[in-house]
């Protein structure tokens, strides 16, 4: 469920469907409304759009998950960007504005958050990338 529209679009393209809002909604509806899903998973990390999206029959995606005893969560990072001065490595952005976004996500039904950080093994990890990852995770923890 933590899939950007671009990633979902690749899945849709693999079965000959266009990456449209209607197809994304149908795909996500299929996922959250899978019969007995709650017997097999306990939580679901959602992409921001999915947190605010309704199923094709008008129910909130979050509500469909909760009805199956699945705890909805949210991916709060805003993606990877190049880390200047590193060995072609990246760092994760999205700490700016995280506190108010987190409050809004909670109001919408998210009950936990996911933050990612990446450390490149083939290209490093450089000391800078490890420090930036640690600092980023510490700042995330302080805001969460």
Query: Rg (Cα) of the chain, in Å, rounded?
Result: 17
User: In the prediction, which pLDDT does 6 show?
Assistant: 82
Nearest to 98 by CA among 49, 130, 140, 47: 140
User: In the prediction, which pLDDT does 64 show?
Assistant: 97
**What's the whole-number mean pLDDT along residues 45-67?**
95
**pLDDT, tens digit, for every residue of 6-16?**
888 898 999 99
Q: What percent of the chain has pLDDT over 90?
A: 68
């Amino acid at each position: 469920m933590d899939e950007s529209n671009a990633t979902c679009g690749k899945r849709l393209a693999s079965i000959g469907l266009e990456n449209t809002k209607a197809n994304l909604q149908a795909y996500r509806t299929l996922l959250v409304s899978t019969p007995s899903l709650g017997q097999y998973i306990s939580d679901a990390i959602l992409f921001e759009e999915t947190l605010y999206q309704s199923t094709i029959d008008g129910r909130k995606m979050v509500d469909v998950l909760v009805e199956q005893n699945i705890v909805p969560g949210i991916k709060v990072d805003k993606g990877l960007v190049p880390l200047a001065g590193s060995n072609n490595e990246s760092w994760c952005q999205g700490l700016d504005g995280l506190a108010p976004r987190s409050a809004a996500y909670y109001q919408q039904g998210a009950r936990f958050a996911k933050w990612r950080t990446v450390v490149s093994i083939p290209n490093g990890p450089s000391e800078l990338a490890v420090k930036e990852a640690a600092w980023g995770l510490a700042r995330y923890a302080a805001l969460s």
